[in-house]
Amino acid sequence: MNALEGVKVICLGQFYFAPYCSMLMARLGADVIKIESMAGDPYRRSPAVDKDGTSVQFRFVNSGKRTMRLDLKNPAGQEVLRKLAGQADVVVQNLSPGAMDRFGLGYEQLSAVNSRLIMASGTGFGSFGPYAGEPAMDLTIQARTAVMSTTGFEDGAPVRTGPSVVDFMAGTHLLAGVLAALYQRTRTGRGQHVEVSLQDAIIPALTSNIAGYINSAGASPERTGNRHGGMAVTPYNAYEAEDGWVTLLCPTDVHWKRLAELMKDPAAEDERFALVSGRCANMDEVDALVGKWTRRHPKDALAVMLKGANIPCAPVLTLPELLEDPHVRARGVVRGVSDEQGDFLTLGSPLFLSDSPMVEPTRSGSLGQHTDSVLVEELGMSPDEIAELRAAGAI
């Protein structure tokens, strides 16, 4: 049995936040209906397309869902959503601030129709506080939350993280809230409103940086490059190898002793480096010493030596290397799928449950592909009723 088998989910989100949350629910067995505007999710129009012309971004977070086109600005479209919400378990949405309430589809209105409904709202800044209601995207949240100020090198400009960490971390937090609400509903019989903001979801990841700032009374640089965010561990960096880069860190003095034995450099025996406090006080010298050693070896060979000494490490992979990595392939989080239309790549799931196999993803539907079938199967509408909605411009 799948963990969320029988759970009906409506996803009104676009981009990554709510779509990723609902994608994880689909992989856990939920029946997810993705409702899009008449123009469709903006990521459908991304120039990054696969060989079949499908947006890779859209496919990665929307495969395995039924797709429906519905105009929520149209009263007839709003009524369709109310009927769908009346028999759904979860509505996941990250529309623009206040949009659901303006449409008459906020939590209070929908819970009046279905008291068991859980509404999961993804927002930029939440429903209260000075910034409540302001629009936000991954990049702007990284700026507002000091993520950019702590990314990059001390003498360089602020830098956004390579991946969209805010959207995906927030999507995972939103899933956690939904699952907690589903569990509580088994005891109370009532749904509730779950809210996760992009800002709230990313701030905990700054724990080391905040600790370093407090511990140094503000003297520690905000941007530490590849060094420890709190400047409290050395070595802790990306070091140049013969054919690329390797990361390694020595969280304890025992790890440093093992590394010194590997390097076989008399300079590593300097008593200044014996304790972590001394190494942190002499970071530049420690990094130069380690880098001198790593540059003499290929990155994969370094990883083998370091792992053999039980020192935390990893070669720095490129994107092509990541997609070919045997462990990534074995885990199936990035998943190759074949169907009658050919092969495509999408996301699997990072959630592994011993008694609940992951639902294999299917190709993401075209815009509005399942509109008619959803109206028939979920609401029992007749062809004439569907034709009326289409004539009214609601679907």
- Does the pLDDT at position 344 exceed 80? yes
What does the pLDDT read at residue 48?
A: 85
Residue 251: asked if its preceding bond is cis (omega within 30°), the reply is no
- Does the pLDDT at position 15 exceed 90? yes
- List residues with catalytic annotation: 167
Percent share of the chain, pLDDT over 90: 88
- What's the CA gap between 21 and 127, in Å, rounded? 19
Mean pLDDT, rounded, for 357-362: 93
Same fold, 8-203+326-391 and 233-316: no
pLDDT in tens, 378-394: 999 999 999 999 999 99
Mean pLDDT of the chain: 95
pLDDT in tens, 158-188: 999 999 999 999 999 999 999 999 999 999 9
Contact indicator for 151, 161 with CB cutoff of 8 Å? yes
> What type of residue is 342?
G
Contact indicator for 25, 49 with CB cutoff of 8 Å? no
CATH assignment, 233-316: 3.30.1540.10
Cα distances from 118 to residues 64, 91, 175, 194, 360, in angstroms, run 21, 6, 12, 7, 25
Beta bridge partner(s), residue 248: 237, 313
Measured over the CA atoms of residue 262, residue 265, residue 270 and residue 276, the dihedral's sign is negative
Cα 89 off chain centre by: 23
What does the pLDDT read at residue 124?
A: 96
CATH assignment, 8-203+326-391: 3.40.50.10540
pLDDT in tens, 184-233: 999 999 999 999 999 999 999 999 888 888 888 877 788 888 999 888 89
Structure tokens at 115: 């008291």
pLDDT in tens, 62-75: 999 999 999 999 99
List the chain domain ranges. Answer: 8-203+326-391, 233-316
Mean pLDDT, rounded, for 338-355: 92
What does the pLDDT read at residue 218?
A: 78
What does the pLDDT read at residue 206?
A: 93
What does the pLDDT read at residue 217?
A: 84
Q: How far apart are the first and last CA of the chain?
A: 34
- What's the CA gap between 8 and 240, in Å, rounded? 50
Count of beta carbons in the 10 Å neighbourhood of residue 172: 16
What does the pLDDT read at residue 160?
A: 95
Contact indicator for 55, 15 with CB cutoff of 8 Å? no
Contact indicator for 265, 211 with CB cutoff of 8 Å? no
- Does the pLDDT at position 42 exceed 90? yes
- What's the CA gap between 65 and 314, in Å, rounded? 36
Q: Among 48-57, 137-146, 252-261, where is mean pLDDT lowest?
A: 48-57
pLDDT in tens, 251-302: 999 999 999 999 999 999 999 999 999 999 999 999 999 999 999 999 999 9
What does the pLDDT read at residue 213?
A: 86
What does the pLDDT read at residue 263?
A: 98
- Does the pLDDT at position 99 exceed 80? yes
